[in-house]
A = this chain, B = another copy of it.
Amino acid sequence: MSYGRDARGERTVSRGGGGLATALRGLVEQHDVTWIANAMTDEDRVVAGEEQRGTILLAQDPHAYDRFYNVAANPMLWFVQHMLWNLALTPDFDHDAWTSYAAVNAKMARAVIDELDRNPDALVFFQDYHLYLAPELVRRERPDVLMSHFVHIPWPESGAWSVLPPEVLRDVFAGLLANDVVGFHTDRWRRNFVRGCVDVLGASVEGDVVEHAGRRTLVTAHPIGIDTAEFDALAEDEDVLERERELVASRPEMLVLRVDRTDPSKNIVRGFRAFGLMLERHPELRGRVRMLALLDPSRQDIPEYVEYLAAVEREARALGDAVDLRIGDDFKRSVAAYKQFDVLFVNPVFDGLNLVSKEAPYVNTRDGMLVLSENAGSHEELSAWALSVNPFDVSGQADALHAALTMDPGEKQRRQAAIRSHVREHDVAEWGAAQLADLDRVRSRS
């Protein structure tokens, strides 16, 4: 969560956006948890100075936090892990930003150690790519604490990681291996990480355990799911229903939907090209089908993201009326569109999991088809029922969109039901339980 002030000067609390924050909230609500996070807003920093229960907000040095968040974590690590650098020219590795990344991690590690002083038996769960260095700093002072780290984004192979200087890369891998458990959404990212431990650190591997520097780390894959009760409720939410009525009143015969942050990893530009190519190849569909693109403008402090959003807008303009582009953040509008799509288009260059590909089919009411990139993490679970596309093959995506739009109704119904039942059975509670089961397995071993 994040704090702000409203027009009257009252403190406001907003829930973190995105599927991950939603998923973690479910986990936190069911256990006695202390949530430690970096303060992001000015008001967060005020809260950080107050006595806190359940949530600890760390007031980081603003300059260091900016370098940490807007250079080292994004775009640097994010672009490395999604293979987005244009390597002939970018990046120049920024040592100063990496120093800030290390400083923010050190402050986080100190806060974790302080919390462990209060609760010596607590389990520690690190989340994602912002905190690769913290676990090793905690481990040095607390050799016996049980620690788990979940990486929510792709883990590429060693070649892509060579963007980091070797000493930095070793720190990243060693930092993660200071945990007892390291988790990923897919077996593909898990396998790449294990191979990287061998390549970068010379670690040894035995089944799903990596051994390095006298420590054993369990490396697992557990795809995250959604909170189905939340989406059951959202589907009937009054704001959602109102937006759905508006959409129904204005919708074309067939609706192709995409819902994304405007992140270069999401492959929005090629997606528009593919839709345009599909209309060129099938002019009989013009006027009958429209693409609705609900895009949340992401990370606009980072030049690469500003440029990408401009490229997205240019490409959409080139398609005229065929595309309805909405830039903004309105989750309830997204849920309304989830219910109404005929084809959901999810074509990321790379994606750790992609929760939209689970949320939207779960609430869809039209037997809508999922066109899914083979580089989305959820492809490991959903490929049997989705139409798979290669994210670099615009022509293939155009063909897949057409196949999805013209698929036999019985086949559509069968596939949609299968995705829905998979999403229901493998929900966020299962994912949370798997985290705890992994730590139990480690505890019983030692």
Contact = CB atoms under 8 A, between A and B. Distances in A.
Interface stretch (A4-12, A56-64, A88-96, A413-421): A88-96
Interface residues on A, range: 35 or more
A99 interface: no
B93 A395 contact: yes
A192 interface: yes
Contacts of A156: 157, 159
Interface stretch (A162-170, A357-365, A429-437): A162-170
Contact of A88 (B308, B374, B396): B308
Given A84-B87, A392-B87, A92 B162 contact: no
A145 to B, nearest CB: 33
A349 B84 CA distance: 15
Nearest to A154: B159
Contacts of A88: 84, 264-265, 267, 269, 308, 349
Contact of A162 (B192, B269, B374, B396): B374
Residue from A87, A192, A350, A393 with most neighbouring chain B CB atoms (10 Å):
A87
- Which 10 A-B pairs give the minimum distances between C-beta atoms? A157-B157, A88-B264, A86-B86, A93-B393, A165-B390, A92-B394, A165-B393, A163-B392, A156-B159, A93-B392
Given A83-B160, A164-B390, 14 more contacts: A83-B83, A86-B86, A88-B264, A89-B270, A92-B393, A92-B394, A93-B390, A95-B395, A157-B192, A159-B159, A159-B160, A160-B160, A162-B374, A162-B390
10 contacts: A83-B83, A87-B392, A89-B264, A89-B311, A92-B273, A156-B159, A157-B192, A165-B396, A166-B374, A166-B390
